[in-house]
Amino acid sequence: MPLNPFVLEVGNFMRYGIISDIHSNLEALDAVLGDIQGQHIDAIICLGDIVGYGANPNECVHRVRQLTDQVIVGNHDHAAVGLTDISYFNPHAKRAVMWTTKVLSSDHFHYLAELPFTIQREDLFFVHATASDPPAWNYLFSSQIALAEFEAFQGRCCFIGHSHQPMTFSLENRGLPQRIENLTCSPQGRYIVNVGSVGQPRDGDPRACYAIFDDQQGKLRLRRVAYDVQATQRKILQAGLPPVLALRLAHGE
């Protein structure tokens, strides 16, 4: 498919496409990029975990590098290049990380190793896991933790990934997690938004997930995009990766 480069330059951008947790799933990534092309997006931001679990790490890193220079690192990217301890990974994730390390091109390996933990753009903050301690790879599910996280970033919105479960936390709502597909941010409000996962959704919906944020209007929209799950599953099995990593994609878990 033809790709348009979304390279950020200095200045204010109106509409962000925010993608996260691609996990070497090329079919899901291409479906999302096809959808993005019709959404009048000015800039794409990638919140990390480009690799891990799936069978196309090199292809996915290549795509992301073509698309945007606004990319932060995820725990699976860091693990694949030997920068994060994988002893806490479950056995399937561990096998996938070791396989990824073996097949990654040295160019893509060095690219992943150099990615930053965070991006701040105007009053928007981007991090894979949590703003308070990015390299700790903590998960954010509860209002108690969310309220503490609001102290840890500057600006109105913090965009995260990592849990593969799209949800929104707002200060107005005392940090309670909410499932919101369309949100109009109030001008004085502050928000933490988990944009879900492109390549391995875990909220029961197998379709790829990403977010569009219109900076000027304060409008957030989650998009779900169907892709060829069976093609991805076949590749995972052919690569000799754990079958459970293929099976779970059909159920979005």
Q: List interacting residues with Zn ion (CB under 5 A).
A: 21, 49
Select 27 or 49, whichever has its Cβ closest to Zn ion: 49
Select 163 or 170, whichever has its Cβ closest to Zn ion: 163
Query: Of all residues in this chain, which one has the CB nearest to Zn ion in the complex?
Result: 49
Select 13 or 99, whichever has its Cβ closest to Zn ion: 99
Q: 11: which residues sit within 8 A by CB, 6+ positions away?
A: none
Residue 182 CA from chain centroid, whole number: 18
Spatial distance between the Cα atoms of 121 and 211, rounded to a whole number of angstroms: 17
Sign of torsion over alpha carbons 135, 59, 99, 251:
positive
**Cβ of residue 77: shortest distance to Zn ion, in angstroms?**
9
User: At 237, phi and psi to the nearest 5?
Assistant: -70, -40
Select 21 or 203, whichever has its Cβ closest to Zn ion: 21
Select 17 or 74, whichever has its Cβ closest to Zn ion: 74
**Cβ of residue 110: shortest distance to Zn ion, in angstroms?**
21
User: At 104, phi and psi to the nearest 5?
Assistant: -65, 135
**Cβ of residue 196: shortest distance to Zn ion, in angstroms?**
10
**Cβ of residue 128: shortest distance to Zn ion, in angstroms?**
8
**Cβ of residue 165: shortest distance to Zn ion, in angstroms?**
11
| Residue pair 163/194 in contact by the 8 Å Cβ criterion | yes
Q: 139: which residues sit within 8 A by CB, 6+ positions away?
A: 129, 130, 162, 163
**Cβ of residue 109: shortest distance to Zn ion, in angstroms?**
19
Angle between helices 243-251 and 229-238 (to 10 degrees): 170
Select 96 or 229, whichever has its Cβ closest to Zn ion: 96
Q: 165: which residues sit within 8 A by CB, 6+ positions away?
A: 141, 194, 196, 202, 203
